[in-house]
A and B are shown apart, each in its own frame.
Chain A
Amino acid sequence: MKLRILFVLVAAASLWACQPEINEFEPTKGSADFSVYMSAGNSLTAGYAGGALYRSGQENSYTAILAKQFEAVGRQGAFKIPYINTEDGIGIQGATLRTKLVMGYSTDCQGNTSLAPVPANPNASQQELAILLGTSVAADGPFHNIGVAGAKITHLLAPGYASLNPFYARFASDPANAVINEIGQIQPTFFTLWIGNNDVLTFALAGGAADEITAVETFAASLEAIIMTFKASATAGAIANIPNITDIPYFTTVPYNPIVLQDQTLVDQLNAGYAQYNAAMEQFGLPHRISFTMGANPMVIQDPTIPTPPGYEMLRFRQISEAELVLLSIPQDSLKCGFWGSMKPVPGQFVLTMDEKSEIEAAIIAYNQIIESAAQNNDLALVDMNSVLKQGSTTGIKMDGVLFTADFVTGNAFSTDGVHLTPQGNALAANTFIDAINKKYNARVPKVNVADYEAVRLP
């Protein structure tokens, strides 16, 4: 009886019980017109991740995220992305093609198996990948996201760039076009631009051994030209600056001193082996000395800038200093089993020396000044990605319960290639864009919940 009454009461109360309503956020466009949004840039803009271009990476690029968020403030129609028809992805490494890197298990030369980035499909044939990459999707265009993997700022302005870069060729509306010629076909009212990373990164990724940093004057003129092209139709936009790339995991993951010696005999042998080198350096009046002790030792690297006298070029190597950087691309098996760094100097392409690092950092400072004044002069929102990476690599960034750092794999922001962003990292980038846009245009574009996106997926 009593229970029955309780049930009746509860049933009555359930009908009465309504969900409280909250409406605290009214999306507003402010002084910007988001109706047609277009984005340009490099691999980060394209949604390249894990060393490859693949469908879900493109879907989770910061620019695809922005396009979705802009719907709340008036963006119309489809946001066309030149999707590639593969989830395994296609990346270019040197002269070969490979699928994206996923976390998996690999066995090293010593027989130890550990978690590491491995190709999603190690059996994919070069021909198969080349066909996928070479398939043009231009007929589905024109596209709203014209980010091109590998593009430098000057490339966006180069007619016929498609012949040099298959990532552009696959969606170029005309092979004779420059990338910026795609802009006129869309007539955007709002644009985002994040370009310039490759102008230093390509040099850095080669360990400073190939390519060169784009000259500052060229950078400034190119940026102006790209912005002008957008401004033919757009009345508002956002431009992101360049993070200090030497803080990304690609350059910070491998320690400078990975040569771990646990055998005094080997230590003695190595020191004896370098005795002649040390004597020669002393004779030349050069400061370099090589010595090994038990425990962790700095690796020996090639350094062609050491001014040894003519005839002694073969002595142009030294031990790396703590402030210098080792690239993620260094073959681990050569370090572990091939005596790299101890008996054999590590080739310069796997190392950024102090000089190279300073050169890169100076270029980024100069580029960022140019980007900042371009944003001011053209009344654009400035997106300070440089500060975001700086904060990530020092204190870390907490957002929606996610801790972002600049650590490889575990830092949530960077994908398995140590350069490009995870979906979660892209969500962080998108929120950074939205903050800058909202501030500049007095708009209220809704931010995304970064916890809704994935970090590096583990097996």
Chain B
Amino acid sequence: MRKQFIITTMLVMGLLTLHAGGYQVRLQSNRSTGMGLTGTAVQMGATSMFYNPGALAMMQSKTDFALGASGIISRISFQKSESDLIAETDNSMSTPFYFYGAGKLNDKWSVGLAVYTPYGSSSKWKDDWAGKLLIQNIALQAIFFQPTVAYKISDKLGIGAGLVYATGKVELQKGLNYGPESYVTLEGSTSNIGFNAGVYYNASEKLSLGLNYRSEVMMEIKGGDAGFNVPAAVEANIPSKNKFDAALPMPANLDVGVSYQATEKLLLSAEINYVMWSSYKELEFKFEEKGELLNSKNQRDYKDTFIPRIGAEYVYSELFTFRIGGYYDPSPTNEKYFTPETVSLNNLAFTLGLSITPTENLSIDLSYLQINGLQATKTYEPDQFGGTYKTAAYIPGIGVSYRF
């Protein structure tokens, strides 16, 4: 009971959006975050609605709530190729969050609602930095609402699925080559639907397996606001107010995980996430007015990635549970089309976690994630803009979970 409570708490922690390759964020639980962001084959109570709705079927308490957030402090450094020019981002902290509430209807059925932020990206370069004609600042945000239902087929096997209603918005600004005060801003929001389905299997007392699929959600912006700040002489060709359409995929994920209760106190967890980034082929902008001049197709040609993760959880006492983990998240970007709008390098990350359980019902989950983007020299060939990038993200998080 106590263990499950801790596990649930951990699950809650996992809800915090995690900063992963591309613009995916997997910080949907501080417990999961502490364990290398694993969770597919772990019973995490209400939190399982994100990581594996199949595991929700196994929830032990009657009702389970979890709430949490993380603060992503992200740093990007850049050195232009064949040059001593250095640039750094001045990113404000982004705060992915999660909320889960789930309850058991009866012995077989569980239902719940999950709200989480699985995609996001925010980079703020200086307005006059070397790559200003590619991007000055960008912020992507998505919030997913997921009503979920799970069914316990047997004591060993659970399945679950949720319908995802996703809302998203994007804001970006890039410079135009009409002098230092020229730039374009694009702002749009949209919504779409998707799903999340999973299977959870207790192969033995100690061994659990999990399989989860989260569908792609295509964020199609229609009639977003475009503002062009250009010299008056150019306004005949480039109207200062315009509307644009664009689409950005939030890629599908297939997660396969295993967890092993090595001792009464030690839980080990490992999994592979297969992220189907290859659907991000291009970023196309279509404008309502002067489209013949302004429309652009920008190749991205992302490739699918495999992310291996490991994590461990140790119940030290009734009060304290410790976690540790790590993962390797390779960049989905294409060699030829690496843009500073989404600086996504090969990431090596480690995680730490701590849960404090003052009463049986309540758990406070702390997590810390550090992501090191491995230095690499990249070019965006269509603009002949390249250089060396290196990133780091420091992400503390906190969550609470309450169950009864």
- Taking Cβ atoms with an 8 Å cutoff, the residues of A that contact B are 2, 5-6, 9-10, 12-14, 16-25, 27, 72, 103, 115, 398-402, 412, 424, 438, 444, 446-449, 451-452, 454-455, 457-459
Find out whether the CB atom of A13 lies under 8 angstroms from the CB atom of B231: no
Rounded to whole angstroms, the CA-CA distance of A244 and B179 in the bound complex is 29
Interface centre among B133, B377, B382 (most CB of A within 10 A): B133
Does chain A have a CB within 8 A of B113? no
Given contacts A10-B73, A22-B77, A447-B82, whether A398 and B384 have CB atoms under 8 Å apart is: yes
Residues of B within 8 Å of A19, CB to CB, are 75, 77, 88, 392
Does chain A have a CB within 8 A of B264? no
8 Å CB contact of A451 from B88, B133, B231, B397: B133
Closest residue on chain A to residue B391 by CB atoms: A20
8 Å CB contact of A17 from B80, B85, B177, B394: B394
Does chain A have a CB within 8 A of B274? no
Residues of B within 8 Å of A446, CB to CB, are 82-85
Residues of A within 8 Å of B82, CB to CB, are 25, 438, 444, 446-447
Residues of B within 8 Å of A18, CB to CB, are 75, 392
Residues of A within 8 Å of B366, CB to CB, are 5, 9
Residues of B within 8 Å of A115, CB to CB, are 233
Closest residue on chain B to residue A72 by CB atoms: B84
Chain B, interface SS category = strand
Find out whether the CB atom of B77 lies under 8 angstroms from the CB atom of A447: no
Find out whether the CB atom of A458 lies under 8 angstroms from the CB atom of B234: yes
Find out whether the CB atom of A398 lies under 8 angstroms from the CB atom of B396: no
- Mask: chain B, 149-188; 1 = CB below 8 Å from A; 0 = not: 0000000000000000000000000010111100000000
Find out whether the CB atom of A400 lies under 8 angstroms from the CB atom of B398: no
Interface residues of B in 62-95 (CB under 8 A from A): 69, 71, 73, 75-80, 82-86, 88, 93
Find out whether the CB atom of A17 lies under 8 angstroms from the CB atom of B398: no
Does chain A have a CB within 8 A of B192? no
Find out whether the CB atom of A457 lies under 8 angstroms from the CB atom of B83: no
Does chain A have a CB within 8 A of B309? no
Residues of A within 8 Å of B285, CB to CB, are none
Query: Could you tell me the distance in whole angstroms from the C-beta of B382 to the nearest C-beta in chain A?
Result: 7
8 Å CB contact of A20 from B179, B234, B390: B390
Does chain A have a CB within 8 A of B400? yes
Find out whether the CB atom of A22 lies under 8 angstroms from the CB atom of B75: no
Given contacts A13-B71, A454-B179, A455-B177, whether A398 and B79 have CB atoms under 8 Å apart is: no
Does chain A have a CB within 8 A of B105? no
Find out whether the CB atom of A10 lies under 8 angstroms from the CB atom of B396: yes
Find out whether the CB atom of B375 lies under 8 angstroms from the CB atom of A22: yes
Does chain A have a CB within 8 A of B244? no
Closest residue on chain A to residue B68 by CB atoms: A2
Q: What are the 5 tightest A-B residue pairs by CB atom distance, in nearest-first order?
A: A401-B133, A9-B396, A20-B390, A458-B231, A17-B394
Find out whether the CB atom of A13 lies under 8 angstroms from the CB atom of B395: yes
Query: Could you tell me the distance in whole angstroms from the C-beta of A423 to the nearest C-beta in chain B?
Result: 11
Find out whether the CB atom of B85 lies under 8 angstroms from the CB atom of A449: yes
Residues of A within 8 Å of B388, CB to CB, are 22, 24
Find out whether the CB atom of B392 lies under 8 angstroms from the CB atom of A447: no
Query: Could you tell me the distance in whole angstroms from the C-beta of A168 to the nearest C-beta in chain B?
Result: 33
Given contacts A398-B384, A400-B384, A452-B130, whether A22 and B86 have CB atoms under 8 Å apart is: yes
Residues of B within 8 Å of A20, CB to CB, are 75-77, 372-373, 375, 390-392
Find out whether the CB atom of A451 lies under 8 angstroms from the CB atom of B75: no
Interface centre among B88, B372, B383, B388 (most CB of A within 10 A): B383
